[in-house]
Amino acid sequence: MLEGKVAIVTGASRGIGAAIAKKLGKLNATVIVNYQGSVDKANQVCEEIKANGGVAEAIQCDVSNFDACQEFMKDIQKKYGRIDILVNNAGITRDGLLMAMSEEDFDKVIDTNLKGCFNCIRFASRFMLKQKYGKIVNIASISGVLGNAGQANYSASKAGVIGLTKSAAREFAAKNIYVNAVAPGFIATEMTDVLPDNVKEAAVSSIPMKRFGEASEVAELVGFLASPASDYITGQVICIDGGM
Ligand code: NAP
C-alpha cells in the first residue's frame, strides 16, 4: 500500500513508535527508525522490519534540537530522494504536581513533545511541498484533550501538539499535505509501565473498556492516516482510548 514511500517515525526504538515503524514497514514503506539514545533497540526494530521483507534504517536525532532536525531531514532527503510520511511520536513525561514542578521539567517536556514536533514538521514540510505530497501524523495524548492532574507540563505539550496539528493542516491543505493527530489513552509501554500499581488500577477503572491499549492498536490507526485510504481527512484529532 505504501510502496515507494519514505516514512520517518520519531522515537521508534520502543513502545508505540516501534509498533508504528513495523506497521509502516509491513505496508511496504521505507522506514527511518529515529531514536535519541537507544541505538541497539532501534537497530533491533530495523532488523525485524527487514526480516519481514521491508527496508529500514536507524538514524539518531534529538528532535528537541532545531539544527539537528534540519540536518536529519536534509540527510534523509539526500539519501532517499523524498520524505512522504512523518510520524511525530517521540515524547517524554516528567510528572509532578504543578506547584512543585521545576522549570527544567516543564521546559524539557515542552521542548521534546511540542518543539520536537514543530522542528520535524518545519524541515520535512519543505521537501513535502516540493514533491506536492505528504502525510504527517502527530502523536498527541488524551491528556492534551482532557488534562490530567500531575501532568501540567505533559498535557500542555500535547494540547500544543493538537493546536499545531490544526494550524499546519490549514496551512498545507491545498498543497496535498495532510496533518492529523492521534490521541492515545493509556497504552501498555515502558512509559506507563513505571506507573505505581494503584495509579494503574485507577486508570483501568476509568477506562470504559477496562484495559490498557496495545501499541499495535495505535499503529493500525497511524497506518490508516499515513495511507491514501485517509485522503479526505486532515486537521483531525482521533482519540484511541478505549472509550475514555
Ligand atoms: P516510550 O516507550 O517511553 O518511548 C519513547 C520514545 O521516544 C523512545 O523511542 C525514545 O528514544 C524517544 N525519544 C525520547 N526523547 C527523544 C528525543 N528528544 N529525540 C528523539 N527521540 C526521543 O513512550 P511511548 O509510551 O511509546 O510513547 C510514544 C508517544 O506516545 C509519546 O509521544 C507519548 O507521549 C505518546 N503517548 C503515550 C501514551 C501511553 O500510554 N504510553 C499515551 C498517550 C500518548 P530513546 O529510547 O532513544 O530515548
Q: What is the pLDDT of residues 138-155, one digit of tens each?
A: 999 999 999 999 999 999
Burial class (CB in 10 A: 0-12, 13-18, 19+), 143: buried
pLDDT score at 244: 95
Q: What is the pLDDT of residues 192-205, one digit of tens each?
A: 999 999 999 999 99
- Ligand 1 midpoint to CA 116 (Å): 12
Instruction: Tell how far CA 12 is from the center of its chain.
Output: 9
Place of cell 496535498: 176
Q: Tell me if the pTM is above 0.85.
A: yes
- Which positions ≥6 away from 136 have C-beta within 8 Å? 85, 86, 87, 88, 121, 124, 125, 128, 168, 177, 178, 179, 180
Give 176's pLDDT tier (boundaries 50, 70, 90): very high
> Residue 209's pLDDT is what?
98
Mean pLDDT throughout 120-149?
98
> In terms of C-beta density within 10 A (0-12 exposed, 13-18 middle, 19 or more buried), how is residue 183 classed?
buried
pLDDT the model gives residue 187: 98
Look at residues 89, 151, 159 and name the one whose alpha carbon lies nearest to residue 120.
89
> Residue 138: CB within 6 Å of ligand 1?
no
Confidence of residue 41 (pLDDT cuts 50, 70, 90): very high
**Quick one: average pLDDT of 87-110?**
98
Residue 135's pLDDT is 98
Q: Quick check: CB of 16 below 6 Å from ligand 1? A: yes
Distance 26 CA to ligand 1 centre (A): 21
pLDDT at residue number 15: 98
Residue nearest to atom 2 of ligand 1 (CA): 15
Ligand 1: residue of 31, 32, 35 to mutate (most ligand atoms within 8 A of CB) is 35
Of all residues in the chain, the percent with pLDDT exceeding 90 is 100
Q: What percent of the chain has pLDDT over 70?
A: 100
In terms of Cα–Cα distance, which of 181, 90, 75, 78 is closest to 136? 181
pLDDT at 188: 97
Residue 104: predicted pLDDT: 98
Provide mean pLDDT across the span 96-101: 98
3 state DSSP class of 184? strand
Catalytic residues: 154
* Placement of cell 514543530 in the chain: 118
Mean pLDDT of the chain: 98
When pLDDT is averaged across residues 118-141 and rounded to a whole number, the result is 98
